[in-house]
Amino acid sequence: MLKLFPAAIIVMLLFTVTFASAEDPAPQQVEATKRIDLLLENAISRGLVAGGVVLVGNRKGVLFERAYGRTCAGPNAPLTNIDTIFDIASLTKVVATAPAILKLAEEGKLSLVDPVSRWFPEFSGKGKEELLVMNLLTHTSGFDDFPLSPRNPLQSAVEKAAHQKLHGEIGSRFRYADINFILLGEMVRRITGVPLDIYAASHFFTPLGMNDTTFNPDTGKAMRCSTTIGPDNSLLTGHVQDPMARQLGGVAGHSGVFTTARDLARFCSMILGEGELEGTRILSGRAVRQMTAPYFSRGGNVIRGLGWDIASPFSAPKGNGLSEVSFGHTGYSGSSIWIDPTADIFVVLLTSRLNYKNIREFSQLRGELSSLSVEIFPLSAGRREIENSGDVER
């Protein structure tokens, strides 16, 4: 039975809050951030999560960060801290795979309107000639997920996708499916000759100073990992939770990345900086804009970016108060990020999720956190500077 912690004990587990400004935060702002504390304390007391990390920032850095609770259920479990490493599950799609595809497109090594069969000859003659790379990125391919074969799971993924009958019209039917990004991860390998983990590390994680971000954490990093719950209720620490990613050796286009909130903050700041962080160019501004531009499906009722979510059934972390051009993604393990270039703000939530059945309450947690964050930090310093210069359109 899950042991719940009294609120008084949870408060003692809170870690230090850090603001990007050298000036002390205003008392009213400090008071307002206690509402974030209460939100996470409540999630812990209800058994949604054992603990987690909240980080709010902008293109210049961190505005707020705090750790809560423990890395798994139980009174003797390690405390969560700012440097705890989390399995971010499907956030892999937007911090590794989609950027890799856009980087290759930027370099002219592929086109987003390439037929998928160009890179997967297994698809030739299977009635998928109109299936494009961008359809995989936007989940408008018509694919549904399926189990992988235990023998040679990657090739089985490709072969089964090649023979699967597509459901609905390509480009108009939105169906979120991991197979889209499994194929994209393999596409990176076929184009570059190196697997996705090596490509992402050399082109994104290392240049961005995301030193704790990796696929398949080594022993040292595994000791700092939060725990996830496997399909048989086993506890996984430093091993990817997603069953298909485990079958694929821990490196897959849809899941497998482990990281910290601070590393994700650097990635989000780079996205807000249109591909640049601290003078280092990671992606072209055009690539970032293309990746986060709206693509419509279901008659305009679903809006996705290339990998990113904008407005769909999975957009709970958007909350209230963020602009219509904001975007983000969620991870099954209990992670989410949401980025708003208009307000110059991003919200990172990483948790040790316990309750996977109560989707509604977990979605509410994500949305309320974003709503609180944009309320507490309505205009970042960088946004104010632009606004005061008179260059912001009204």
Domain segments of the chain as ranges: 1-83+359-394, 85-314
Averaged over 176-194, what is the pLDDT? 98
> What's the whole-number mean pLDDT along residues 303-322?
95
pLDDT at 385 exceeding the cut of 70:
no
Which one-letter amino acid corresponds to residue 222? Answer: A
pLDDT for the residue 34: 93
Q: In percent, how much of the chain has pLDDT > 70? A: 88
What is the Cα–Cα distance from 88 to 242, expressed in whole angstroms? 10
Rounded to the nearest integer, the mean pLDDT of the chain is: 90
Q: Give me the pLDDT at residue 291, please.
A: 97
- Predicted confidence at residue 263, as pLDDT, reads 98
Q: Looking at the predicted structure, is the pLDDT value of residue 377 above 50?
A: yes
- How confident is the model at residue 188, as a pLDDT? 98
- Position 344 scores a pLDDT of 95
Q: Where residue 384 falls among pLDDT bands split at 50, 70, 90?
A: very low
Long-range CB contacts (< 8 A, 24+ apart) of 228-233? 228/87, 228/333, 228/352, 228/353, 229/353, 229/354, 229/356
- Which pLDDT score is estimated for 387? 36
Q: What confidence tier does 231 reach under pLDDT thresholds 50, 70, 90?
A: confident
Q: Which CATH superfamily groups domain 85-314?
A: DD-peptidase/beta-lactamase superfamily (3.40.710.10)
pLDDT attached to residue 381: 40
**Structure confidence at residue 6 (pLDDT):** 41
What's residue 60's pLDDT? 87
In this model, does residue 394 exceed pLDDT 90?
no
Q: What is the pLDDT of residues 89-142, one digit of tens each?
A: 999 999 999 999 999 999 999 999 999 999 999 999 999 999 999 999 999 999
Average pLDDT over every residue of 267-283: 97
Give residue-wise pLDDT tens across range 349-363. Answer: 999 999 999 999 999
- For residue 57, what pLDDT is reported? 96
Segment 5-52, tens digit of pLDDT: 343 333 333 443 443 443 455 665 667 789 999 999 999 999 999 999
| Averaged pLDDT for residues 63-86 | 96
Query: Would you say residue 382 has pLDDT above 70?
Result: no
Q: Using one digit for the tens of pLDDT, what is the confidence trace for 327-376?
A: 999 999 999 999 999 999 999 999 999 999 999 999 999 999 999 999 99
pLDDT on residue 27 = 63
Sorting pLDDT into bands at 50, 70 and 90, what band is 267?
A: very high
Q: What is the pTM of this model?
A: 0.89
Please report the pLDDT score of residue 232 as a whole number: 86
Average pLDDT over residues 375-392: 49
Alpha-carbon distances, residue 388 vs 59, 303, 330, 378 (angstroms) = 17, 32, 34, 15
